[in-house]
Structure 1
């Protein structure tokens, strides 16, 4: 986010995060943000990234803690709008007295970006049987985080199993092809298959077609030879 503090003057010291001027301003800014955002239950503080002239323009991040669900991003977006409204509607300051709290420009504050951090990929390692860690990953659902196997379509990299049942063993995921009595399978993901009935019917038909073609060729040749003889 960015906000404009109008009752403070920018100085060169504010460019240096280790300076007393920067640290004093940071402490005051954090205290005032904690007061302004006390109604936001997910608020966990702010981090100032930089300060620049005009009077003092603050580039900062608001830290939020929201439930880890599939709606986390939309939740963050909704809270972001509240953060802007709260700062821009803050009127309890005395513009002419630097000893007062920070006064914000009522139309300057904006959200430059808002997103929920992705769930740590190692989250499931302590929740699954030993030796299976590589085959589980966290998936965000409407109810929270689930640790799902690579057989689940919600996994980060789901295992391909088309015409079959996927299962995970210590040696890795495998696809048990279905309807083996009716089909031959040509790959491990059970994607390419041949119908046994189709082959059983097709081969004799193909053989009969070849035989008919050969017999026709033989008759044609015999006819030509008979004409030549005459």
Structure 2
């Protein structure tokens, strides 16, 4: 019999995604992600050009005004970003031009060799981007003559914004969603496993985020990961993460002591009750004897025969 939507193909159960085993009853604890040799990422920025006025031509991407502005902007930003400490820089993409004077919403494109530490890498590169754009937008704040040059763009440093959330060129989490068992996709996420990226759960051994079940075993259920506490010959284990343990010998000793105490108590009570009953019986006998031995004068005794 095949489970979890699997079908028999004449030789074995053909498991649906996320399951394995002879009858497809077991969930995949993890699966590695196919990663590219290179990884692309972008960072969103917004700068304000102060020595240009917004015109309707800047709404038309085919106009000479728009193309000349974009070319000048990219050229100026290239000089700022392209450096030895930022070899991952690949250019600037203009997303939108807005009024006031001219607000430029754009993205800085990066490309790097894929490593398991790519997130830390891009986080550091974002700091480099922020430092460079702040340096560029703060250059000519007080130089009105330079800003009057038509071949030069000047910016407002205080209106510069960098979104430090990196957008990756591909979605790692999507690979987890596409390959995990449908009922459990929300519990799979990307983590490092043996130096490689994998879709894992909190029950996957060998990950930094593995749930610590102490004296138990982690099991992924439809409600999420849970610790199943295991018992040994000497201890019972309990608690949400099986962090507590109780010695069986101690429990048996306590139970035995309680039983002995109860037995002793019953015996003592029985003895006391028996002694109390014997004492009461003696008192009753003494009282009866006193009544029998008492001789009251004037008692009438009929010894004759009525005729």
TM norm structure 2: 0.51
Quick one: distance in 2 between partners of 1:74 and 1:144?
Answer: 20
Could you tell me which of 191, 198, 221 is aligned with 1:147? 198
**Structure 1 pair 30–228 and aligned structure 2 pair: CA distance change class (3 A):** farther
Stretches of structure 1 that go unaligned for 5 or more consecutive residues are none
- In structure 2, the partner of 1:86 is 136
User: Could you tell me how far 1:23 is from its partner in structure 2?
Assistant: 5.4
Quick one: distance in 2 between partners of 1:64 and 1:76?
Answer: 10
User: Could you tell me how far 1:114 is from its partner in structure 2?
Assistant: 1.1
Q: Is the partner of 1:161 in helix, strand or coil?
A: coil
Q: Residues 148-171 of structure 1, C-alpha deviation per residue, up to 9 Å, x if partnerless?
A: 74224524xx34522156699xxx
Matches within 5 A, 1:1-230: 1-14=45-58, 16=59, 20=63, 21-22=65-66, 25-39=69-83, 40-44=86-90, 45-54=92-101, 56-65=102-111, 68-70=118-120, 72-89=122-139, 95-98=147-150, 100=151, 102-105=152-155, 107-108=157-158, 110-117=160-167, 120-122=172-174, 137-139=189-191, 146-147=197-198, 149=200, 150-155=204-209, 158-164=210-216, 180-185=232-237, 190-191=242-243, 193-219=245-271, 221-222=273-274, 230=283
Q: Is the partner of 1:214 in helix, strand or coil?
A: helix
Quick one: distance in 1 between partners of 2:255 and 2:261?
Answer: 10
Q: Is the partner of 2:256 in helix, strand or coil?
A: helix
Quick one: distance in 1 between partners of 2:278 and 2:269?
Answer: 14
Quick one: distance in 2 between partners of 1:114 and 1:34?
Answer: 20
CA contact (8 A) 1:49 1:61 kept: no
Quick one: distance in 2 between partners of 1:146 and 1:204?
Answer: 54
User: Could you tell me how far 1:6 is from its partner in structure 2?
Assistant: 3.0
**Structure 1 pair 31–22 and aligned structure 2 pair: CA distance change class (3 A):** same
**Structure 1 pair 113–165 and aligned structure 2 pair: CA distance change class (3 A):** same
Q: Is the partner of 1:198 in helix, strand or coil?
A: helix
Quick one: distance in 1 between partners of 2:212 and 2:252?
Answer: 29
Number of residue pairs matched? 215
User: Could you tell me how far 1:60 is from its partner in structure 2?
Assistant: 3.0
Indicate the RMSD between aligned Cα atoms, in angstroms: 4.5
User: Could you tell me how far 1:192 is from its partner in structure 2?
Assistant: 5.5
CA contact (8 A) 2:47 2:159 kept: yes
